[in-house]
Every structure is written in structure tokens, then in C-alpha cells.
Chains A and B, each alone.
Chain A
Amino acid sequence: MGILANVFARFVDTDKARVFGIRTDMLERLGLVLGRDRKAQLGVAIVGIVGFMAAFAPILAPHDPMGQDFPVLLEPQFVGAGALGTDSYGRDMLSRLIYGARISLLVGIGAVAVGAIIGMVIGLVAGFFGGLVDDVLMRMIDIFWAFPYLLVAIMLVAIFGQGLWNVIIALGFAYIDDFARIIRGEVLALREEEFTLAARSIGLTSREIMVGEIFPNTIAPLLVMYTVLVARAMIAEATLSFLGLGVRPSTPTWGSLLGQGRGFVTEAWWIGILPGLMIVITVFGINLFGDALRDAFDVRRSEGG
């Protein structure tokens, strides 16, 4: 992992103090954390493996995840199929499990992106303009907060119908308020910083200051938030799919595999346990990685300790 820190250092060794808007000293600190912290390394390894599974699912999966290649029995069976047997429709479990990584990651990352984009705009505008704009926008955010998000997601899926993109949008709404709040807080603090005042004094417009000066400085807390919420969104997706209200049931997702396997837990426990284990391991890895990011980026805590 020391190599990783080196790569980071080399990568950011330019006269610009930022890479993708992240201050280079933060990247260096992330490299340090990754080089030293076992927890962080484990997190990166898990996320890497699941990402690999998702990317190369067609190569890794021994059978077609949708194909009913094996005799349909009332019960799941081990005979003939991949290492984990089949589900009750005669579809290969292992292949469905591998393909499930795709949907889980896609929904997790996508849903949080929806929340991040909308929430960021609201937070930036509210924090930057303050006053009445801030009041109105943040009261709006308060209302988002009072909705029980899973139940709202259930209703939204009922309105728009099941399907990948609908689930992503329905879940994404739940994360708007998190992003709006955190970005607003950052902006309120940054608004009074010298570089903002300097930008204003050389005549930059509000939009230029927001996009060019303030926004890049919010990226670090944003990334931490993003990672934590992806983990949460993946669990939410699994819950929706488990309830039969997520992506279409024929699409293999870890949540829907659990939902379908639930009826067979007494005869074939692995159908009820393994998809859940995949969720837990993946979310666990993302949470560990998020914690490492927080250690690296959270200026407040690292200065205090």
C-alpha cells in the first residue's frame, strides 16, 4: 500500500494544488490512511472485488442469469448447475448472485447521484444567497426530512412503476436533504473566507464564485457523504426489491433473490442467506472505505486528534 501513497503523490505532483477539486494535501492524507489503516485497506479490497464482479459479470458467471437452463423443480437444487444450485425457476443461483452486484452498485451509486445533484444545487444556492432564499429552501428541506423515506419510495415506485431507473429516482429523493444540509453548512463557512472575498473584489459574478471558488472546496465532505449514502442506498434497494417493489423481479438483484428465497429457507437456507451475505460484505466494505475517507478528509477531527 506504500506504492499507492507514492502513486498518489506522483499523480498530484503538479503546480496545481487540486486534482478533481480535491486539495492535494487531502489526497496525500488519503494515501497515508490507505497505506497505514488495515480497515481502509479491507474496505478498498472489498469494493474492488465487488466492482470487478459487477464489471465482468458476463465473463465470470457460468450461466445465463435469466436463462431457465435447468429443470424447474418446486425446490431449489444443487444438481447440474453452478456451485450454488438453482432457484425454483431453474435459473443458476451463482450467476444471478454475480449479476446482482451490477444492480446493487448501479442503484446505490445512481440513487445517491440523484440526491447529490439536486441537494447540492439547493445547498449551494441557500448557503450562498442566505436570507429569504435560504429560509425558504431550508424549510423545504425540513419537509423532505419529515417524510418516512422508505414508505415514500414505495409510493413513488407504485406511481412510476417498477424498473431500474424508477427505483434509482425514487430512492434518490431521500438523499436530497442530506446533501443540501451539508453543502449549505460548508458554504456558510466558506462564504466569509478570504478567497471568496478576494474573488468578489476582483469582480467575479455570484455564479462564478459559487461554481469556481466555493463548490470545489465542498468536494471533500461531499465525497464522504456520498460514500456513506451509497451504502445506505444499497440497503434501501435491497429492502425495496425484497418487498417486491424494486427492479422487476426477473432481474437478478440481491434483494429480490432474498425475497424469492425467503419461502425456501427451511429447505435451502443458502438462497436466503447468500444474497444477504453479499449485501452485508459489500456495504461493510463501502462503510469502511467511507470511514477512511472521513479520517483523511475531515479536517476538524484530524486536527483535534
Chain B
Amino acid sequence: MRRYIAKRLLHSLVVVWIVATVVFAVVRAIPGDPVQLMLGGDATQEAREQLRTQLGLDEPIYVQYARWMGRLAQGDLGESLSTGVPVLELLIQVGQPTVSIGLLGMLIALSIAIPAGLISALHQYEWDDYVATFIAFLGISMPGFWVGILLIVFISQRFEFLPAFGYVGPGEGIRAWFSHIILPAIAVGVPYGGIIMRMMRSSMLEVMNEDYMRTARAKGLSPQLIVMKHAFQNALIPVVTIAGILLGTLLGGVVAVEIVFGIQGLGRLLINSVHQRDFPVVQGSIVIIAVIFVLTNLLVDLLYTVLNPKIKYGDGGES
């Protein structure tokens, strides 16, 4: 097990390194000069050169790459070109709303979709299965940002305590924080929940057909025990995987939803820094997202062993 984790961690490190390298190259391929954008069209040649030297942009590209990699290895993401603020600090600032919305959205989605998928599978081809499936399909087909627009038009304008704009940190009152993130979280959660529900349903149906389910029934175990202990736990495994894999999709959803609700989150930061050619910020955000993504999926794989003791990783199985 320990060897397996070490191997996976090493593999993850390589993935992150390659992501970092590709992003470094891609960001510099974006036409447009950050210095030009910062100083405007009528700055003197001298001022431009000076700023370029100050930011280290006059050095050959491989020196810039080596320096960035060196700092990255120490967990330093560098500073924003335009404001000089450390990228990590910027990311923590904008990360708070993004993570709040993403997590709450995920929570809402899972807590509705998993029971709904379960009921749907147990009542296959009955009316509640049809209703749940219809709603799930509708959810999958909705862009999160559009759900956000609907929520603003139909909910926020009626209920003043649910603001349609901005973000307030949890430090300024849990209630205010919650009321600002609940609508964006629902918007993010709708399409996500739709996929989870479909996944839960088909996974549960598959498990119900397995041999060990028949054995359990033949043994005369109570239906509740069979469903909850044998079927549900096993059916949850692929759902957990999908929940992890969809993290990227979820994040993409959060970006657009944040824009709808005028929240200064990761999406705004990334779009702005792409426009300003703020290389370190773009690089830093993508690398951090890749790290989160890779680690989540590692965690999901490890969660397997908890959900299903039959799965053992590595070569320590026999001893």
C-alpha cells in the first residue's frame, strides 16, 4: 500500500511538472506583450526596457523557465507582473469564494442526486423513476451559468435576502456568507447533480444484477439490509470516481457562474490575467488546479479501499 501511494505520488509529480511546462510554453505563445499592456501605447522605449528588466522578461526564455521551475519546486509561484502581489496570495484570495461555491454546490448535488439515483434504481420503470430521470436529464442539459441567470431573475429578485451580486467572506458573518453563495452553488450543482444521479442509478442497477445479490437474497437477508449494505456500498464506488473526475467540469462551471453573480473568484482572475498577459498568475492558477485535480483523484483511488476491502493496491497483498 505504501509503495503504491509513493508510486502514485511520483507519477502525480511528473504530471504536474508537464502541466507546468506546457502552460509555461502556451502562455508565452499568446500574442501581446505584458509590458506594452501595462504601460500603454505611448510609453517611451526606455521605460519599457526598464520595466522589462525589472520583471525579468528580458532574459532568454530558458532562463525564465529554469527560474520559474526552481521557485515552483520550493512552492513559490512568483509574483503577479501587473500588481507585484505574490500569486499564491492572489489565489488564496480568490480561491475562497470559488472553493466555497464549488464545495457547497457539490454537497447539494450529492445529497440530492445519490438518494434520487437510489430510489430511481429501486423503482425502475415506475413513475418516480421517470420523474427523477427526466429531471436529471434536464439538469445535465443546463449550462450552470444559465441556471444562475434563472435564479437571479426568478428567485433573487423576489427574495431580498438572497443577493444576486457579490461575495462576503465567512469572517463577516456566516449568514451573510451563506446567503451570497447559496444561489451560485445551486447553479453549479444542477448539471453536476444530474450526472451523479444518472451514474448512481445505472451503477445501482448493475450491482442489483450481480451474483452476490442473488446469494444475499437467497440467504433470506432482509431487503433493507441487502440494499443498504450490499448493493448501495458497491454501487457507490463508480459514483465516487465520477464525482472526482468531474471536478474539472465543476470548476469550469464555477468560473462562468461567478461571472454571472459578479463574484471576484478564480474565473475573473484567470480571464483578467489572460487578457493582461500576466504570465505568472495564469501559470500559477493552472498549476494549482492541476495539483488539486491530481490529488483528488489519488484520494478517490484510496477511498476505493475503504469502500471495497476487496481492492488492494501494490504487491503487499499476499504476505
Residues of A within 8 A of B (CB): 142-143, 146-152, 154-156, 158-159, 161, 231, 235-236, 238-239, 242-243, 245, 255, 258, 262, 265-266, 269, 272-273, 276, 279-281, 283-284, 287-288, 291, 301, 304-305
Contacts and interface: CB of A to CB of B under 8 A. Distances in A.
A210 B307 CA distance: 39
A262 B141 contact: no
Nearest to A286: B141
Contacts of B140: 231, 283, 287
A222 B271 CA distance: 34
Contacts, number: 127
A235 B143 contact: yes
B26 A150 contact: no
A143 B271 contact: no
A159 B26 contact: yes
Given A149-B248, A258-B146, A284 B271 contact: no
Contacts of B29: 159
The interface centre, meaning the residue of A146, A255, A283, A287 with most chain B CB atoms within 10 A of its CB, is A146
B28 to A, nearest CB: 10
B15 A142 contact: yes
A193 B297 CA distance: 33
28 contacts: A143-B15, A146-B290, A146-B293, A147-B22, A148-B293, A150-B252, A151-B270, A151-B285, A154-B270, A155-B282, A159-B30, A239-B143, A239-B256, A242-B143, A243-B259, A245-B271, A265-B153, A266-B153, A272-B149, A273-B149, A273-B153, A276-B142, A276-B150, A280-B138, A283-B142, A287-B140, A288-B137, A304-B206
Interface in B20-37: 22-23, 26-27, 29-31
B146 A158 contact: no
Contacts of B92: none
B120 to A, nearest CB: 14
Given A159-B30, A288-B137, A147 B282 contact: no
A149 B252 contact: yes
Nearest to B259: A243
A159 B271 contact: no
A276 B19 CA distance: 34
Contact of B143 (A151, A238, A245, A291): A238
A255 B143 CA distance: 10
B32 to A, nearest CB: 8
A149 B247 CA distance: 11
A150 B274 CA distance: 13
Given A146-B16, A269-B153, A288-B137, 8 more contacts: A143-B22, A151-B251, A154-B274, A159-B31, A273-B150, A276-B142, A276-B149, A280-B146
